[in-house]
């Protein structure tokens, strides 16, 4: 952790201590872009989870009273979440590639081919999103190893276990995130 960050943490920790540890799930999840919808008449390629934006393969961390934030147990917990999520996403990317290879050039009929092309562009967008997410997860793992994971990039306050479980790649506390979103809205009108 940088000296500046440490100072910010110290300044904010008193304030943070008075706050309830668990906050409501941020509204940000609702503001997230909706998944790309296929045009009418185009079937979804295979059934799959509707969204990979959330990783559910973990048990919520059993918080013990007075335990230090981001102690070794907590860090191990988030390491497992981040690595598990990354693995899941990479398998999904693999499946997409294989699916496209399997189906490529199998449709002599122009209508079928058009449908297939729409499917492919949808899959490519999904893959692109997954790749970006994997990059974010890698960054989170790096900050975890550097001992900086779980603190707000903007103000240094503890992001919180439950918020991180809901958004393991979160780099901002809910207050800074909300402020940024308000600013963004004002800028774009």
Instruction: Return residues touching Zn ion (CB under 5 A).
Output: 152, 154-155, 157, 173, 176
Q: In the complex with Zn ion, which residue's Cβ is closer, 9 or 89?
A: 9
Looking at the Cβ atoms of 143 and 154, the one nearer to Zn ion is: 154
Q: 170 or 173, CB closer to Zn ion?
A: 173
**Cβ distance to Zn ion smaller for residue 15 or 32:** 15
Number of Cβ within 10 Å of residue 161's Cβ equals 19
Q: Residue 82 or residue 152: which is nearer to Zn ion going by CB? A: 152
CB of 159 to Zn ion, least distance (A): 8
Shortest Cβ distance from residue 172 to Zn ion (Å)?
A: 5
Q: Are 138 and 86 in contact (CB under 8 A)?
A: yes
CB of 176 to Zn ion, least distance (A): 3
* Nearest of 144, 165, 143 to residue 26 by alpha carbon: 165
Q: Tell me the closest approach of the beta carbon of residue 93 to Zn ion, in angstroms.
A: 32
* Least separation in angstroms between CB 33 and Zn ion: 23
In the complex with Zn ion, the residue whose CB is nearer, 7 or 76, is 7
Adjacent-strand bridge partners of 151: 158
Find the shortest distance in angstroms from Cβ 55 to Zn ion.
Answer: 23
One DSSP character per residue, the chain reads --HHHHHHHHHHHHHHHHS-SS-PPPTHHHHSPPPPPPPTTPPPSS---S-SSS---SPPP-PPTTPPTT-HHHHHHHHHHHHHHHHHHHHHHHHHHHHHHHHTT---SHHHHHHHHHHHHHHHHHHHHHHHHHHHHHHHHHHHHTT-TTB-TTT--B--HHHHHH-TT--S-HHHHHHHHHHHHHHH-
């Amino acid at each position: 952790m940088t000296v500046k960050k440490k100072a910010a943490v110290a300044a904010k920790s008193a304030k943070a201590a008075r706050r309830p540890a668990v906050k409501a799930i941020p509204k940000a999840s609702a503001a997230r872009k909706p998944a790309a919808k296929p045009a009418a008449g185009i079937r979804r390629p295979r059934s799959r989870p509707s969204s990979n934006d959330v990783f559910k393969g973990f048990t919520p961390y059993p918080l013990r009273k007075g335990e230090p934030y981001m102690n070794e147990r907590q860090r191990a917990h988030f390491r497992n979440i981040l690595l598990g999520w990354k693995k899941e996403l990479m398998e999904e990317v693999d499946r997409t590639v294989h699916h496209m290879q399997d189906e490529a050039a199998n449709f002599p009929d122009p209508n079928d081919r058009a449908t297939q092309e729409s499917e492919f562009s949808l899959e490519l967008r999904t893959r692109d999103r997954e790749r970006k997410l994997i990059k974010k997860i890698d960054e989170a793992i790096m900050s975890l190893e550097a001992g900086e994971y779980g603190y707000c990039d903007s103000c240094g306050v503890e992001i919180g276990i439950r918020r991180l479980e809901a958004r393991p790649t979160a780099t901002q506390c809910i207050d800074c995130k909300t402020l940024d979103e308000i600013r963004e809205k004002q800028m774009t009108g």
